[in-house]
Amino acid sequence: MASHALILLQIIVLSSLAATAFSLSPYYYKNICPQALPTIKTLVEAAVYKERRMGASLLRLHFHDCFVNGCDASILLDPSPTIDSEKGALANQNSARGFEVIDEIKAEVDKICGRPVVSCADILAVAARDSVVALGGPSWKVQLGRRDSTTASRTQADIDIPSPLMDLPALINNFRNQGLNQRDLVALSGGHTIGFAQCLAFRGRIYNATNIDPSFAKERRAICPRTGGDTTLAPLDSTAARFDTAYFNSLVKQRGLLTSDQALFSGGSTDNLVNTYRLYPQVFRKDFAHSMIKMGNIKSLTGNQGQIRVNCRMVNN
Protein backbone atom coordinates (compact mmCIF):
# COMPACT_ATOMS: atom_id res chain seq x y z
CA MET A 1 0.00 0.00 0.00
CA ALA A 2 2.81 2.38 0.98
CA SER A 3 4.68 1.36 -2.19
CA HIS A 4 1.61 2.16 -4.32
CA ALA A 5 1.27 5.57 -2.67
CA LEU A 6 4.95 6.30 -3.29
CA ILE A 7 4.63 5.40 -6.97
CA LEU A 8 1.53 7.61 -7.27
CA LEU A 9 3.41 10.50 -5.63
CA GLN A 10 6.33 10.06 -8.06
CA ILE A 11 3.95 10.14 -11.03
CA ILE A 12 2.36 13.37 -9.75
CA VAL A 13 5.77 14.99 -9.19
CA LEU A 14 7.07 13.94 -12.61
CA SER A 15 3.91 15.20 -14.29
CA SER A 16 4.28 18.51 -12.50
CA LEU A 17 7.93 18.80 -13.56
CA ALA A 18 7.04 17.98 -17.16
CA ALA A 19 4.36 20.66 -17.19
CA THR A 20 6.81 23.16 -15.74
CA ALA A 21 9.56 22.24 -18.21
CA PHE A 22 7.26 22.76 -21.16
CA SER A 23 5.64 26.03 -20.02
CA LEU A 24 6.66 29.40 -21.38
CA SER A 25 8.87 31.67 -19.30
CA PRO A 26 10.29 35.18 -19.78
CA TYR A 27 13.65 33.78 -18.64
CA TYR A 28 13.82 30.91 -21.12
CA TYR A 29 16.96 32.19 -22.85
CA LYS A 30 18.71 33.48 -19.72
CA ASN A 31 21.19 30.59 -19.66
CA ILE A 32 20.77 29.26 -23.22
CA CYS A 33 21.67 32.56 -24.91
CA PRO A 34 21.57 35.68 -22.70
CA GLN A 35 22.37 37.99 -25.65
CA ALA A 36 19.37 36.87 -27.71
CA LEU A 37 16.85 39.44 -26.46
CA PRO A 38 19.23 42.44 -26.49
CA THR A 39 20.16 41.53 -30.08
CA ILE A 40 16.51 41.42 -31.16
CA LYS A 41 15.87 44.77 -29.46
CA THR A 42 18.80 46.45 -31.21
CA LEU A 43 17.74 45.24 -34.65
CA VAL A 44 14.08 46.12 -34.14
CA GLU A 45 15.02 49.63 -33.01
CA ALA A 46 17.19 50.03 -36.11
CA ALA A 47 14.38 48.85 -38.40
CA VAL A 48 11.83 51.18 -36.78
CA TYR A 49 14.26 54.09 -36.86
CA LYS A 50 14.72 53.47 -40.59
CA GLU A 51 10.97 53.26 -41.21
CA ARG A 52 8.49 54.04 -38.41
CA ARG A 53 5.75 52.04 -40.14
CA MET A 54 7.80 48.86 -39.67
CA GLY A 55 6.90 48.82 -35.98
CA ALA A 56 3.22 48.37 -36.82
CA SER A 57 4.07 45.77 -39.47
CA LEU A 58 6.03 43.62 -37.00
CA LEU A 59 3.24 43.87 -34.41
CA ARG A 60 0.74 42.80 -37.07
CA LEU A 61 2.86 39.79 -38.06
CA HIS A 62 2.75 38.46 -34.49
CA PHE A 63 -1.01 39.05 -34.29
CA HIS A 64 -1.73 37.30 -37.59
CA ASP A 65 0.57 34.46 -36.60
CA CYS A 66 -1.11 33.81 -33.25
CA PHE A 67 -4.66 33.81 -34.63
CA VAL A 68 -3.91 30.91 -37.00
CA ASN A 69 -3.28 27.68 -35.07
CA GLY A 70 -1.40 29.56 -32.35
CA CYS A 71 1.86 31.54 -32.07
CA ASP A 72 4.06 29.16 -34.05
CA ALA A 73 5.64 31.30 -36.81
CA SER A 74 3.50 29.57 -39.45
CA ILE A 75 2.93 32.97 -41.08
CA LEU A 76 6.62 33.11 -42.03
CA LEU A 77 6.63 29.93 -44.14
CA ASP A 78 6.95 30.44 -47.89
CA PRO A 79 4.83 28.39 -50.32
CA SER A 80 6.20 24.95 -51.19
CA PRO A 81 4.83 21.62 -52.42
CA THR A 82 4.00 20.78 -48.79
CA ILE A 83 3.25 24.26 -47.39
CA ASP A 84 -0.04 26.09 -48.05
CA SER A 85 1.50 29.44 -47.18
CA GLU A 86 -0.52 31.84 -45.03
CA LYS A 87 1.17 34.68 -46.90
CA GLY A 88 -1.42 34.08 -49.63
CA ALA A 89 -4.41 34.54 -47.29
CA LEU A 90 -6.69 37.51 -47.95
CA ALA A 91 -5.54 39.33 -44.80
CA ASN A 92 -1.86 38.88 -45.65
CA GLN A 93 -1.54 38.96 -49.43
CA ASN A 94 0.17 42.16 -50.58
CA SER A 95 -0.08 43.60 -47.07
CA ALA A 96 1.82 41.47 -44.52
CA ARG A 97 5.38 42.79 -44.40
CA GLY A 98 8.54 42.83 -42.31
CA PHE A 99 9.65 39.33 -43.30
CA GLU A 100 13.11 40.55 -44.27
CA VAL A 101 13.53 42.15 -40.83
CA ILE A 102 12.70 38.83 -39.16
CA ASP A 103 15.20 37.10 -41.46
CA GLU A 104 17.90 39.57 -40.45
CA ILE A 105 17.12 39.12 -36.76
CA LYS A 106 17.14 35.34 -37.05
CA ALA A 107 20.54 35.30 -38.79
CA GLU A 108 22.11 37.65 -36.25
CA VAL A 109 20.63 35.88 -33.21
CA ASP A 110 21.81 32.48 -34.43
CA LYS A 111 25.26 33.98 -34.98
CA ILE A 112 25.34 35.49 -31.48
CA CYS A 113 24.07 32.28 -29.88
CA GLY A 114 26.40 30.09 -31.90
CA ARG A 115 23.58 27.87 -33.15
CA PRO A 116 19.82 27.98 -33.89
CA VAL A 117 18.33 27.99 -30.39
CA VAL A 118 15.88 30.89 -30.65
CA SER A 119 12.65 30.01 -32.43
CA CYS A 120 11.16 32.19 -35.15
CA ALA A 121 7.93 32.24 -33.10
CA ASP A 122 9.76 33.76 -30.14
CA ILE A 123 11.47 36.28 -32.41
CA LEU A 124 8.05 37.40 -33.66
CA ALA A 125 6.76 37.78 -30.10
CA VAL A 126 9.78 39.76 -28.89
CA ALA A 127 9.93 41.89 -32.04
CA ALA A 128 6.27 42.85 -31.53
CA ARG A 129 6.98 44.00 -27.97
CA ASP A 130 10.14 45.87 -28.93
CA SER A 131 8.30 47.58 -31.82
CA VAL A 132 5.60 48.86 -29.49
CA VAL A 133 8.21 50.16 -27.04
CA ALA A 134 10.17 51.83 -29.86
CA LEU A 135 7.04 53.78 -30.81
CA GLY A 136 6.36 54.95 -27.25
CA GLY A 137 4.15 52.11 -26.05
CA PRO A 138 4.26 49.92 -22.93
CA SER A 139 6.66 47.07 -22.30
CA TRP A 140 5.88 43.61 -20.92
CA LYS A 141 7.69 40.40 -20.09
CA VAL A 142 7.34 38.24 -23.19
CA GLN A 143 6.75 34.59 -22.35
CA LEU A 144 9.37 32.53 -24.22
CA GLY A 145 10.14 28.96 -25.18
CA ARG A 146 7.86 28.57 -28.19
CA ARG A 147 8.84 26.25 -30.99
CA ASP A 148 8.12 26.61 -34.70
CA SER A 149 5.42 24.82 -36.66
CA THR A 150 6.17 22.50 -39.55
CA THR A 151 2.88 23.33 -41.29
CA ALA A 152 0.81 26.33 -42.38
CA SER A 153 -2.77 26.81 -43.53
CA ARG A 154 -3.93 29.55 -45.87
CA THR A 155 -7.48 28.20 -45.54
CA GLN A 156 -7.37 28.51 -41.75
CA ALA A 157 -5.87 32.00 -42.01
CA ASP A 158 -8.80 33.09 -44.17
CA ILE A 159 -11.16 31.78 -41.49
CA ASP A 160 -9.42 32.93 -38.30
CA ILE A 161 -7.81 36.31 -38.98
CA PRO A 162 -10.46 38.95 -38.21
CA SER A 163 -11.70 40.88 -41.22
CA PRO A 164 -11.72 44.71 -41.35
CA LEU A 165 -15.35 44.38 -42.45
CA MET A 166 -16.57 42.62 -39.27
CA ASP A 167 -19.27 44.06 -37.03
CA LEU A 168 -19.08 43.83 -33.24
CA PRO A 169 -20.81 40.44 -32.75
CA ALA A 170 -18.51 38.87 -35.36
CA LEU A 171 -15.43 40.39 -33.71
CA ILE A 172 -16.47 39.19 -30.26
CA ASN A 173 -17.04 35.68 -31.59
CA ASN A 174 -13.76 35.71 -33.50
CA PHE A 175 -11.77 36.65 -30.40
CA ARG A 176 -13.75 34.25 -28.19
CA ASN A 177 -12.68 31.41 -30.48
CA GLN A 178 -9.08 32.28 -29.53
CA GLY A 179 -9.84 32.35 -25.79
CA LEU A 180 -9.89 36.16 -25.73
CA ASN A 181 -12.65 38.28 -24.19
CA GLN A 182 -14.13 41.68 -25.03
CA ARG A 183 -11.51 43.52 -22.99
CA ASP A 184 -8.81 41.76 -25.00
CA LEU A 185 -10.66 42.66 -28.21
CA VAL A 186 -10.70 46.40 -27.47
CA ALA A 187 -7.20 46.50 -25.99
CA LEU A 188 -5.60 44.60 -28.86
CA SER A 189 -7.57 46.60 -31.44
CA GLY A 190 -5.86 49.58 -29.82
CA GLY A 191 -2.75 48.36 -31.61
CA HIS A 192 -4.26 50.25 -34.54
CA THR A 193 -2.95 53.38 -32.86
CA ILE A 194 0.09 52.71 -35.05
CA GLY A 195 0.28 51.87 -38.72
CA PHE A 196 -1.72 52.18 -41.91
CA ALA A 197 -4.43 50.37 -43.85
CA GLN A 198 -4.94 49.94 -47.57
CA CYS A 199 -7.77 51.60 -49.50
CA LEU A 200 -9.21 48.15 -50.32
CA ALA A 201 -9.82 47.57 -46.60
CA PHE A 202 -11.68 50.83 -45.88
CA ARG A 203 -13.30 51.75 -49.23
CA GLY A 204 -16.66 50.27 -48.28
CA ARG A 205 -16.78 52.28 -45.06
CA ILE A 206 -15.96 55.71 -46.51
CA TYR A 207 -18.52 55.37 -49.31
CA ASN A 208 -21.33 53.44 -47.64
CA ALA A 209 -21.25 53.84 -43.86
CA THR A 210 -23.68 56.07 -42.01
CA ASN A 211 -21.77 56.11 -38.71
CA ILE A 212 -18.88 58.12 -40.10
CA ASP A 213 -17.88 61.76 -39.76
CA PRO A 214 -18.68 63.33 -43.19
CA SER A 215 -15.52 65.45 -43.33
CA PHE A 216 -13.41 62.40 -42.48
CA ALA A 217 -15.10 60.36 -45.21
CA LYS A 218 -14.46 63.15 -47.68
CA GLU A 219 -10.76 63.31 -46.74
CA ARG A 220 -10.32 59.59 -47.27
CA ARG A 221 -12.29 59.54 -50.53
CA ALA A 222 -9.72 61.97 -51.92
CA ILE A 223 -7.06 59.24 -51.77
CA CYS A 224 -9.28 56.17 -52.17
CA PRO A 225 -11.50 56.28 -55.27
CA ARG A 226 -14.44 53.95 -55.81
CA THR A 227 -12.32 51.93 -58.22
CA GLY A 228 -8.56 51.56 -58.40
CA GLY A 229 -5.90 52.56 -55.91
CA ASP A 230 -6.48 49.48 -53.80
CA THR A 231 -3.04 49.61 -52.14
CA THR A 232 -3.05 53.34 -51.36
CA LEU A 233 -2.34 53.78 -47.65
CA ALA A 234 -4.12 55.86 -45.00
CA PRO A 235 -3.15 56.14 -41.31
CA LEU A 236 -5.25 54.18 -38.84
CA ASP A 237 -5.34 57.22 -36.58
CA SER A 238 -4.02 60.79 -36.60
CA THR A 239 -0.69 59.83 -34.97
CA ALA A 240 0.14 56.64 -36.85
CA ALA A 241 3.83 56.62 -35.84
CA ARG A 242 3.19 57.04 -32.11
CA PHE A 243 1.65 54.57 -29.67
CA ASP A 244 -0.99 56.63 -27.84
CA THR A 245 -4.77 56.83 -27.37
CA ALA A 246 -5.60 58.87 -30.49
CA TYR A 247 -7.19 55.70 -31.94
CA PHE A 248 -9.88 55.66 -29.25
CA ASN A 249 -10.49 59.40 -29.58
CA SER A 250 -11.06 58.89 -33.29
CA LEU A 251 -13.70 56.22 -32.63
CA VAL A 252 -15.70 58.55 -30.38
CA LYS A 253 -15.64 61.12 -33.21
CA GLN A 254 -16.78 58.46 -35.72
CA ARG A 255 -13.44 58.70 -37.46
CA GLY A 256 -12.50 55.03 -37.22
CA LEU A 257 -10.89 54.04 -40.52
CA LEU A 258 -12.03 50.42 -40.69
CA THR A 259 -15.54 49.06 -40.20
CA SER A 260 -14.11 46.77 -37.51
CA ASP A 261 -12.58 49.79 -35.75
CA GLN A 262 -15.77 51.85 -35.57
CA ALA A 263 -17.70 48.73 -34.51
CA LEU A 264 -16.05 49.05 -31.11
CA PHE A 265 -17.88 52.33 -30.53
CA SER A 266 -21.29 52.03 -32.10
CA GLY A 267 -23.75 51.81 -29.22
CA GLY A 268 -22.65 48.30 -28.26
CA SER A 269 -21.15 46.53 -25.27
CA THR A 270 -17.61 47.82 -25.87
CA ASP A 271 -18.42 51.55 -25.84
CA ASN A 272 -17.51 51.94 -22.17
CA LEU A 273 -14.11 50.33 -22.68
CA VAL A 274 -13.32 52.68 -25.56
CA ASN A 275 -14.17 55.64 -23.33
CA THR A 276 -12.10 54.21 -20.47
CA TYR A 277 -9.02 53.79 -22.66
CA ARG A 278 -9.54 57.23 -24.19
CA LEU A 279 -9.71 58.96 -20.82
CA TYR A 280 -7.19 56.83 -18.93
CA PRO A 281 -4.12 56.06 -21.09
CA GLN A 282 -2.40 54.11 -18.32
CA VAL A 283 -5.33 51.70 -18.13
CA PHE A 284 -5.05 51.11 -21.87
CA ARG A 285 -1.28 50.57 -21.68
CA LYS A 286 -1.66 48.09 -18.84
CA ASP A 287 -4.49 46.18 -20.52
CA PHE A 288 -2.71 46.14 -23.88
CA ALA A 289 0.39 44.56 -22.30
CA HIS A 290 -1.75 42.02 -20.44
CA SER A 291 -3.67 41.06 -23.59
CA MET A 292 -0.48 40.75 -25.63
CA ILE A 293 0.86 38.23 -23.12
CA LYS A 294 -2.46 36.39 -23.19
CA MET A 295 -2.52 36.34 -27.00
CA GLY A 296 1.10 35.15 -27.08
CA ASN A 297 0.07 32.04 -25.14
CA ILE A 298 -2.43 30.82 -27.76
CA LYS A 299 -1.64 27.17 -28.62
CA SER A 300 2.11 27.62 -28.32
CA LEU A 301 4.27 24.65 -29.28
CA THR A 302 6.69 23.66 -26.51
CA GLY A 303 8.95 20.82 -25.42
CA ASN A 304 9.44 18.37 -28.27
CA GLN A 305 6.64 19.79 -30.40
CA GLY A 306 7.52 21.44 -33.70
CA GLN A 307 11.13 22.48 -34.31
CA ILE A 308 13.55 25.39 -34.14
CA ARG A 309 13.78 26.48 -37.76
CA VAL A 310 17.18 27.29 -39.21
CA ASN A 311 15.47 29.49 -41.82
CA CYS A 312 12.20 31.10 -40.74
CA ARG A 313 10.82 30.80 -44.28
CA MET A 314 11.07 27.03 -44.56
CA VAL A 315 10.77 23.84 -42.55
CA ASN A 316 14.06 22.16 -41.61
CA ASN A 317 15.05 19.28 -43.89
CATH number of 35-160: 1.10.520.10
Per the annotation, the verdict on 290 as an active-site residue is no
- Say whether pLDDT at 11 is over 90: no
The DSSP output letter for 279 is H
pLDDT per residue as tens digits for the range 152-168: 999 999 999 999 999 99
- Of 2.30.40.10, 1.10.420.10, 1.20.1540.10, 3.30.460.10, the CATH number of 168-291 is 1.10.420.10
What is the distance between the alpha carbons of residues 67 and 161, in angstroms, rounded to a whole number? 6
Per-residue pLDDT tens over the stretch 86-137: 999 999 999 999 999 999 999 999 999 999 999 999 999 999 999 999 999 9
pLDDT tens sequence across 197-231: 999 999 999 999 999 999 999 999 999 999 999 99
Residues counted in the chain: 317
Residue of 300, 295, 220, 304 lying closest to 24 (CA atoms): 300
Q: Give the pLDDT score at 9.
A: 42
Q: Quick one: pLDDT at residue 218?
A: 97
- Model pLDDT, residue 86: 97
- What is the 3-state secondary structure of 131-192? HHHHCCCCCCCCCECCEECCCCEHHHHHHHCCCCCCCHHHHHHHHHCCCCCHHHHHHHHHHH
**Region of poorest pLDDT, from 20-29, 157-166, 196-205, 255-264:** 20-29
Asked whether 158 and 67 are in contact (CB, 8 A), the reply is: no
Q: Residue positions in the annotated binding site?
A: 65, 68, 70, 72, 74, 86, 162, 192-193, 237, 244
Neighbours of 297 (CB within 10 A): 16
Of the residues 4, 62, 64, 290, which is catalytic? Answer: 64
Binding positions for substrate are 162
Domain ranges of the chain: 35-160, 168-291
Residue 165 CB partners (closer than 8 Å, separation 6+): 204, 259, 260
State the binding site for Ca(2+).
Answer: 65, 68, 70, 72, 74, 86, 193, 237, 244
